[in-house]
Chains A and B, each alone.
Chain A
Amino acid sequence: MGIPNLWRTKGQRYSLAGEICPSCSQHIFPPRDVCPHCAKPAGPIHTLSGRGEVYSYTTMYNVPQGFQEQSPYTVALVKLEEGPMVTAQLTDVENEEVAIGMKVEMVTRKLREESEEGQIVYGYKFRPRLTEAA
């Protein structure tokens, strides 16, 4: 993925910047121009809490180019507290310890290997939750 695209999408990747739909009040991630729930114009930026739980997971042994040095790793579908679901790697946990329903929280980590141009991509991953809700 090119540098301009990584720059454009840094808000959602570093801090889970999403939206709240002004028409139907649903949370949206990532930001869209049109609400996927009601098809009306999507609305103001709202940052998600980063707290959620594992909806599903897989430990991958054959990984794409650019991810070799982390292999094998576990990717999960994380259902966020506000509603949206995201695809992300799990971190700070043994692959065998992951389970559906596990409570997780967002952290920022290096997503993939350095490219030939030396570009390092950071973004969200999820780890088992350390803090309980206040």
Chain B
Amino acid sequence: MSDYKYIGRSVPIHDAQGKVTGSLRYAGDMVLPGMLHLALLTCDIPHGIVKSIRTERALALDGVVDVLHCFNTTKERFNRYRNIHGQKLINQEEIFPERVRFVGDRVACVIAETPQAARAALPLIEVEYERLPYATDAKTVIESGVLDDMFEDGAVYPAPELINGEQPDLTGTTITQTQAHFDRQSHVTMEPQACIADYDPLTGQATVYSPNQSVNGLRTVLADLFDLPYHKMRVVKTTMGGSFGSKQEWMAEPVALAAALHTGRPVKIVFTREQAMLSTITRAAFDGKMTTHVTPEGKVLSVDIETVIDAGAYLSNSLDYCIVVSSKIFRCYTFPYVRYNGKAVCTNSPVSGAFRSWGTAELYLLVEHHFNELARKLGMDATDFRLKNIVKLGDVDKKTGVSLGDVRIGDCIKQGREKFGWFAKRQAAEAFNAQNGRFLRGVGIGCGGHGNTYFPRREDFGAAQMRVSEDGTVLVNISLHDHGCGTVTAFQMMIAETLTIPIDQVAVGEADSSVTPFDLGCFASRTTYVLGRIAVDCAEKLKDLLVATIAKADGSEPEAVKIQGGQILAGDKHYSFADAAQYALHTLQQELTVMHQFVADSNPGVTGAHFAHVEVDTKTGMVAVLDYLAMHDIGKVINREITVAQIQGAVAMGTGCALTERMTPNKNGRFTSSLKDYHLRNCPEAPDVEVEFVEADSIGGPFGAKSIGELSLVPVAPAIMGAVNDALDASLSYLPLTPDRILKHLANGGESR
């Protein structure tokens, strides 16, 4: 163990007490004076034109204030995914479109004095539609052209081809092609989307309180949509009941603000679970094809990847998503030549959007499945095969040219298979399966790599401000967007460690677009790496200021003053932070405050290797995870137990993605919209997950830390899929591997290769 006082220890997160006693308020729990309530009407046909809307009966209901819909609300278009001013995107979406494009598209909202009245009025709204032909999958859209006129520019959006490296001499290599698929998936944050919008017609001040990942991005989208000046549009981030990407796009806020502007009163909207599943965002259905040339020794020389991202009814972020899928390929493996092509295709399905890892989990599903097939073909062990193709310490990311620095996927694989007992488990599984019983066992490995910042793909920077109060406590002003995984506490720990003071003497707020410094938002797993670095550097600056202040007060040279154990030492005299703050106030007539800005200039490789041991019940098609190890090259752990818990959560989520979680359409084009039909891992089913870290103090981040939140999901589905295939001696890669799919495979004589 290091001699850090806080870094690497386990500290309960800052608002755990409020959460566990029920006293903490999420957006849906907040009440403002005079507040109205919204209920959203969504459409139940997959494609059509709204011909008329009759609201008389709804308006006649007691407590109903008004109904907003496409014939009385702005027609201005926006992009739900825009997160920075000036971002070049296609704006396809209206708050209430006249042309509805999927079951779940927004049709109208009731504004009422109580939530009950708002809900009761919904069935009284009469909507007449003209139906249009529809398609809920990308293949049909591409082949039939049925949605060619859904938008001005059609429905199919190709990503620019990426070619990296020169095609090497391929003599003596073997060519292999595989495919992999994910069904559409839901984030299922336990807190559905909710927000409150407020507007004061006298001052023109608009305020939105919402659990969102970017107060600044959201503020510009809302202000542009309603033509408000940016300084009168304030967005306050509220406690977030989980996001996983689903609260980085704007579905609830535009509706609530339209109603607040319309009524001049605060308005609250809370999505139902059905709306959270259908009418927010989902992970796109994904199809990938991978073709490689591999040497007999197992080195992959040439890679060709084609992907199709089912964007759903609005393009939103899907073209960027499709492009980004290619960008993580060199974060774990290196190949002399890669060609990537992909397209995003609009369909009459729920809208696709950001999902934890932003396409990286999809990419590695494809790659890891392919590698399992190659290893098998060459008669090699799956872990050995990966070791032949991984990036090494000091390699550069071939896509960006930026150093991967301290990347340790090799250590993850080698130490991981040791700890997991990979070879022993593999042998034991073979022996177990040789008995030809009802149950079959297998092992699988999944690897993956991710980033820690946008750098160098796009600009990445941020700022922090710190102030010392009269009693020596420290106020930190920085635009954090805690998703619930302890960001605020991690920052308290890093700042307290730097300043050598107790954690509870550091107050760290969250993002408020009118108060905290500009920030891009919590995307790209950048918070700890970029903003954490900024906070630590800012705290160092604050230390310099404390030293300079006490030097003045004490009449000594700054070189002779130092900070230790929360005290400022000048010779044999001890001063407190409070002494410094009070001297500054009363004598220097200044506040002790510093501001620090920083532009990210590094992005080391951050990787993980997961190992799964499963048992398949050949009678029911059910898969039980017997053992699981997640090994992460994390640089440095900040808050240990909560990091472990976050990774275990990723494994539970990824296991769901691998085995059960899928949104599929019924015959009327309505996708799965209930937790009755959408199965997350529950407590009895969740695997016991062991988590281990390779800690080797990377550079660039705070205390050597790298990212974890998104990466931790990436290896999970590949590891589980690999283990199932090992058990069944199969090549199943159409995920999730539901009991039905497994039974069908077994019924077909187990032929899948």
Binding between chains A and B: no
Partner-B contacts on A (CB < 8 A): none
| Interface residues in chain B, defined as those with a beta carbon under 8 Å from any beta carbon in chain A | none
